[in-house]
């Protein structure tokens, strides 16, 4: 009788102890619990800036290789304008720090007048969105989630035109602050 009771108790205790066990060995370094290599996707959401909210949104994808720079696409929308571009970054495997530069740009040609023959006089204007991204790659706290890692941080993007005074609405003057929110899509 005692053996049956002990066997029943062991049937309850063993699965519970496995569910609460800590897997793996010791972790070394600050971010050793997650591998930074892989492909990430995310958004840049503007932080509320007085007196109003910035009318913009950014999207990015980047691949962090085992060696070398992380590279990817960076696209940002602001005030009805679309800035396609690229991102270059580093990802520290020990701390999980992701530090990158983002650059988006496009050009438009405007008719600024006409010469004496009636031919149009044009001027090309370059629209730039340039800035930095600083984020941390951390293990996904939602253990039921599909994504292995999350990316959280901040970005500062400056919008400008060349020549500078051509479209005042496209010049931010100072960097526009964004929140960076991303997730790991693949590990390879």
DSSP string covering 104-159, please?
EEEEEEEEEEE-TTSPEEEEEEEEEEEEEEEEEEEE-S-TT-S-SEEEEEEEEEEE
Give the domain ranges of the chain.
29-186
| pLDDT beyond 50 at 39 | yes
For 9-47, the DSSP string reads HHHHHHHHHHHTPPPS----STTTTS---EEEEEEEEEP
Q: Tell me, what's the pLDDT at 148?
A: 80
Kindly state the tokens that stand for 158: 């400056």
pLDDT of residue 163: 87
Split at pLDDT 50, 70, 90, the class of 31 is: very low
pLDDT tens, position by position, 45-54: 998 765 556 7
Q: Which pLDDT score is estimated for 49?
A: 66
């Amino acid at each position: 009788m005692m053996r049956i009771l002990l066997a029943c108790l062991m049937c309850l205790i063993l699965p519970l102890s496995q569910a609460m066990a800590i897997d793996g060995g010791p972790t070394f370094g600050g971010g050793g619990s997650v591998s930074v290599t892989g492909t990430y996707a995310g958004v840049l959401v503007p932080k509320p800036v007085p007196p109003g909210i910035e009318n913009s949104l950014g999207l990015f994808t980047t691949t962090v290789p085992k060696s070398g720079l992380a590279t990817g696409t960076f696209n940002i929308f602001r005030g009805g304008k679309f800035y396609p571009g690229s991102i270059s970054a580093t990802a520290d495997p020990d701390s999980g720090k992701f530090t990158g530069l983002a650059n988006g740009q496009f050009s438009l040609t405007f008719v600024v007048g006409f010469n004496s023959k009636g031919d149009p006089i044009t001027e090309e204007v370059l629209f730039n969105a340039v800035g930095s991204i600083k984020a941390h790659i951390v293990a996904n706290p939602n253990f039921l989630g599909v994504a292995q890692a999350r990316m959280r941080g901040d970005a500062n993007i400056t919008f400008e035109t060349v020549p500078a005074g051509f479209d005042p609405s496209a010049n931010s003057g100072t960097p526009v602050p964004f929140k960076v929110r991303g997730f790991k899509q693949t590990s390879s």
